């Protein structure tokens, strides 16, 4: 009955928990803007004080940027590390908000109550679901169920420049049996999910140069090779007619999806026609022999994110441009090596340049994919605990995007991470009028209580 008592405590304390979240949301902790440096400090202080009220030995730890918040609770059983971030995105364009982005409040939308504010869903509301679960557990039991490390970052929305150095410098302190991350969402806003694989990311930004100046098309058209023509031919050759990437060796380190995971994904009944229709599209463009969820979650991609060259103003300027540029991104899976993929792409590009053409690159280091081992018994315990809380049974899911922190836990600390979150597709994160459903907040707290019980029982 002890879990029932904790859940009842969560239900009774929901109003107070919501008020605590609203107080945190009213701190404008925008990490990308130096004007809000003091507010980021204030948010960190708020969290330290709140953790200390639970008996957590919490500190604000300095970095070259915004501080980390680290707290420890000793105990028996597994050592859990919980990660979240307290910084938020800028609010621009502010005129599109229906209220002050930091005047956090509960709103009744007609479809349910929501907490409206910048950071409500990404990630203060999610972070506080775990803290509130711990608060209810402590209130009922007098102590938390096991050893827990709280690890809150203040630079996630600005690229986490201090994160890796801090983790390396404090690896012994942060190392745990498993890491928990609450910065993801429900599948199609209804199915609780544990993210077990994340695609990596590699970006290429390059410029092809042909003639040493822009050329008059009347004088040089026909005889002079146009860099835009060269660029578009190269880009078009990156995919075959079935949507597969043509770079040699591109799929060498791409694993096949295990049958049990493929069956589970099929059971989610993903409506890809509606998914594409919501953005005005009809046909899937990925590998035609793969299911839609495989294309999004477990298959690598190559996409053109930007392309430019020549005159793009009003009217016409009849020139052959000297240069043409593009930005590409590769989403990586399995054991694909970003450096190897970069080398293959550049070799392909340079081998297709006409004589006399050259290319320059402006690119940053890529990040590999992250794959969590569901063979760890904690994953199945957590999945069953989530299934007990939500109407739909929980699923192991992939994520088409990249969440580098999960890979850092594995690479730096040697720890698998479980990514569990309660955001919905319409939370408008990074956009005006961000919100977090009160149901997500409430059932998120209850979910973490169930997971704590399952992992420590």
Check whether residue 209 and residue 83 sit in a common domain.
no
Residue 283 falls within a domain, yes or no? no
User: And the tokens for 250?
Assistant: 């591109």
Residue 271 falls within a domain, yes or no? no
Distances (CA, A) of 36 to 31, 43, 215: 7, 11, 48
Check whether residue 194 and residue 211 sit in a common domain.
no
- What pLDDT digit, counting tens, does each position of 296-320 carry? 999 999 999 999 999 999 999 999 9
pLDDT for 375: 86
pLDDT for 414: 94
Residue 265 falls within a domain, yes or no? no
pLDDT for 136: 98
Check whether residue 181 and residue 127 sit in a common domain.
yes
For residue 343, the domain's CATH number is 3.30.70.360
Checking if the pLDDT of 1 tops 60, the result is no
Check whether residue 335 and residue 431 sit in a common domain.
no
What's the predicted TM-score (pTM) here? Answer: 0.86
Check whether residue 307 and residue 346 sit in a common domain.
yes
- What pLDDT digit, counting tens, does each position of 175-218 carry? 999 999 999 999 999 999 999 999 999 999 999 999 999 999 99
Q: Give the integer Cα–Cα distance in Å for 335 and 343.
A: 16
* 207-216, 223-232, 252-261, 325-334: range with lowest mean pLDDT: 252-261
Neighbour count for residue 171 (Cβ, 10 Å): 12
- Based on the structure, what is the number of domains in the chain? 2
Mean pLDDT for the chain?
Answer: 95
Q: Give the integer Cα–Cα distance in Å for 60 and 81.
A: 17
Distances (CA, A) of 204 to 35, 357, 362: 32, 18, 7
Check whether residue 10 and residue 57 sit in a common domain.
yes
Q: How many CA atoms lie within 13 A of 97 on its CB side?
A: 21
| Helix axis angle, 14-25 to 37-53, nearest 10° | 160
- Domain containing 341: what range? 200-254+300-361
Residue 424 falls within a domain, yes or no? yes
For residue 375, the domain's CATH number is 3.40.630.10
What stretch of H or E contains 7? helix 2-12
What stretch of H or E contains 331? strand 323-332
Check whether residue 353 and residue 205 sit in a common domain.
yes
% pLDDT > 90, the chain = 90
């Amino acid at each position: 009955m002890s879990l029932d008592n904790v859940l009842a405590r969560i239900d009774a304390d929901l109003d107070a928990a919501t008020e605590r979240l609203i107080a945190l949301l009213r701190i404008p902790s925008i990490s990308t803007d130096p004007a809000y440096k003091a507010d980021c400090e204030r948010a960190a202080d708020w969290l330290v004080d709140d953790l200390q009220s639970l008996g957590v030995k919490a500190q604000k730890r300095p970095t070259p940027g915004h501080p980390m918040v680290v707290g420890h609770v000793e105990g028996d059983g597994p050592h859990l590390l919980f990660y979240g971030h307290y910084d938020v995105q800028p609010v621009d364009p502010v005129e599109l908000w229906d209220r002050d982005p930091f005047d956090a409040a509960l709103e009744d939308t007609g479809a349910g109550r929501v907490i409206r504010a910048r950071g409500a869903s990404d990630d203060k509301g999610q972070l506080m679901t775990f803290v509130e679960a711990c608060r209810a557990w402590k209130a009922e039991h007098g102590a938390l169920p096991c050893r827990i490390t709280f690890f809150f970052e203040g630079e996630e929305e600005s690229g986490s420049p201090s994160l890796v150095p801090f983790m390396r410098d404090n690896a012994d302190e942060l190392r745990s049996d498993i890491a928990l991350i609450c910065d993801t969402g429900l599948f199609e806003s209804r199915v609780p999910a544990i993210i077990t694989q994340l695609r990596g990311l590699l970006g290429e930004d390059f410029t092809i140069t042909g003639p040493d100046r822009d050329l008059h098309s009347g004088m040089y058209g026909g005889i002079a090779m146009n860099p835009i023509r060269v660029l578009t031919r190269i880009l078009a050759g990156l995919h075959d007619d079935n949507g597969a990437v043509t770079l040699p060796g591109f799929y060498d380190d791409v694993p096949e999806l295990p049958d049990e995971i493929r069956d589970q994904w099929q059971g989610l009944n993903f409506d890809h026609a509606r998914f594409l229709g919501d953005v005005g599209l009809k046909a899937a463009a990925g590998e035609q022999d793969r299911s839609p969820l495989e294309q999004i979650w477990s298959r690598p991609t190559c996409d053109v994110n930007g392309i430019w060259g020549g005159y793009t103003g009003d009217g016409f300027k009849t020139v052959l441009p000297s240069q043409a540029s593009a930005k590409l991104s590769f989403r990586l899976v399995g054991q694909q090596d970003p450096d190897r993929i970069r080398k293959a792409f550049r070799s392909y590009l340079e081998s297709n340049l006409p004589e006399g053409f050259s290319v320059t690159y402006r690119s940053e280091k890529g990040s590999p994919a992250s794959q969590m081992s569901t063979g760890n018994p904690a994953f199945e315990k957590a999945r069953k605990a989530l299934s007990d809380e939500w109407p739909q049974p929980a699923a192991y899911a992939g994520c088409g995007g990249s969440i580098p922190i999960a890979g850092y836990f594995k690479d730096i600390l040697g720890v698998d991470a479980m990514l569990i979150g309660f955001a919905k597709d319409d939370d408008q994160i990074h956009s005006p009028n961000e919100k977090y459903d009160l149901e997500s907040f409430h059932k998120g707290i209850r979910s973490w209580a169930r997971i704590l019980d399952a992992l420590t029982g």
